[in-house]
Structure 1
Amino acid sequence: MGKGRIFHDLAAGVAAGATGTTALNAITYLDMAVRGRPASGLPEKTVDTLTERLHVGLGPEEDARNREQGLGPMLGILTGVGVGLAYGLFRHSVRRVNGPAAAAGVGLAAAVASNLPMTSLGLTDPRKWGIGGWVSDLIPHLGYGAATVAAFELMRG
């Protein structure tokens, strides 16, 4: 595989990660609509905690809250695109994969990549989530994995 192929696979991974992120968001918003549950405040809390620890200001209080609300979801997009990029690199190296296993692996990688920072910052504890919390987290991430793998394979041709 030539140099051009790796760039193609990485670009396909980025685009596939964006596709997977859209699928994850759609599943999450559908769950919120069906169950009437609120959005998670953890992405914004993550931004708040990170800016505090890094001694980075986001402006006056109202502006800072608004910026946290914008930056929180951006962390999710960055995670989704980053995991897609990693999948593109993986697929560049591995010629054949089992689609369902790859989808599950990519979904679980995305779940870890999104939850590990929040857990490390002490903002959440997955041991205390309960079955509903795990279902609310895993189903969208598995959807992410399925959409990411499917999109990558379509783009790869």
Structure 2
Amino acid sequence: MTTSRLSTLTRGLVAGALGTTALDTAGYLDMALTGRPASDSPGRTVLALARRAGAELPDDESRRSAYGQLGGLAAGLAVGVGASVLRRLGLKLPAPVAIAATGAAAMAATDGPMALAGVADPRGWTASDWARDAWPHLAFGAGVHWTLTRFEDEREAERRPVTIGSLLRSTALGAATGSRASMGVLAPALASGGTARAVLTTGLAGAELVGDKLPATPSRLEVPGQLSRLGAGAIGGAALAAREDRSPWLPALAGVLGASAGAVLGAAWREAAEDRGWTWQGAVVEDAVALGLVGLAVRGSD
């Protein structure tokens, strides 16, 4: 690891460029060993997509080759930047998984447009065709992964990676927040161990639990209610990540998604319960579920 201060975008561009170089090297090595000719499919893909966009590019053998190289470079840079952004957000996969996932993304970025343009149909490829296409893209993934880990600053390197477990905990807390907005601040307060803060937030949560049962309380699906729950879900997810020394961005997003789902599902449950005459019983059940989700979010670890 180095202490490089390269920006996320710059790291991604460098990683994409190095990965593309690795991919081209692997492809040319395959051509040298097998004697297969260079494919003009990438260039024809660029021409076909340009025509669909209403642009007519000059077409000859040299230009098709250039279009293909430029299109491949653009795809490689885009995938490199995407991988850099995800790593900056805290998604740090084991090296073999990261290499395979990045290579698969690069394959999708090149093979997908070919299929869309009607230049190639991957559904008809043989196992040998897929293998020949896959291994240069694995070289791309390896180049991108090496670059991103090599040029990672110390603070990022020291942070624990965002895991599936941490995202599930943030999602669970977000779902609780979708039911009761105060849960987004209650869970981090309880986890911090500060008595005064825990007492204050517990009091606020208790007030919301009571207020939720009042007939005059507006629907959580109205804009103010939704915004407060989404914001609390983001705060809660980020706070859980900070407690575990992880990057906060993906957990915050998980909290928002959980809050959105929790609000919709909670409102649907309450409506169904009221239709059966279980007005206060349905509310209490929802309270219990929300508190249970908070407990799971706070106590879980990995």
The two structures, once aligned, show a CA RMSD in angstroms of 1.6
Give CA deviations for 1:15-73 in whole Å, capped at 9, x if unaligned: 011000000000000001100001111011112212332332334xxxx3133321121
Q: TM-score, normalised by structure 1?
A: 0.87
- Please say which structure displays the higher CA radius of gyration: 2
- Give the 4+ runs in structure 1 shifted more than 4 A: none
**Contact residue 58 and residue 67 of structure 1 kept, 8 A:** no
1:153 to 132, 143, 149: 149
Moved more, 41-50 or 108-117: 41-50
- Size of the aligned set, in residue pairs, is 148
Q: CA deviation at 1:93?
A: 0.4
Match of 1:88 among 74, 84, 87: 84
Which of the residues 100, 107, 113 maps onto 1:104? Answer: 100
Q: CA deviation at 1:148?
A: 0.6
Consecutive unaligned residues in structure 2, runs of 5 or more: 154-302
Determine which structure has the larger helix proportion and give its number. 1
Residue by residue over 1:128-156, the C-alpha shift from the partner in whole angstroms, topping out at 9 and shown as x without a partner, is: 11122111100000110011101111111
Please state how far the C-alpha of 1:95 moved relative to its aligned partner.
5.5
Aligned to 1:52: 51
Letter in 2 for 1:149: H
Report percent identity of matched pairs: 37
Instruction: State the 1:123 CA deviation.
Output: 1.2
2:63 is matched with which residue: 63, 67, 92?
67
For 1:110, the aligned partner's letter is A
Partner residue of 1:28?
A: 27
Does 1 or 2 have the higher relative contact order (CA < 8 Å, sep 6+)?
1
Q: Quote the Cα distance in structure 1 between the aligned partners of 2:38 and 2:64.
A: 14
Identify the range of structure 1 (110-119 vs 87-96) with the bigger mean alpha-carbon deviation.
87-96
Q: Secondary structure at the match of 1:156?
A: coil
- Listed one character per residue, the Cα deviations across residues 74-128 of structure 1 (whole Å, up to 9, x for unaligned) are 0000000100000010011016431111111101010011110111111111121
Is the contact between residue 40 and residue 64 of structure 2 (CA under 8 Å) also seen in structure 1?
no
Aligned residue identity for 1:33: A
Task: Work out the CA distance in 1 between the residues paired with 2:55 and 2:116.
Answer: 19
Q: Which amino acid aligns with 1:38?
A: P
Answer yes or no: is the 8 Å Cα contact 2:47–2:57 preserved in 1: no
Letter in structure 2 aligned against 1:50: L
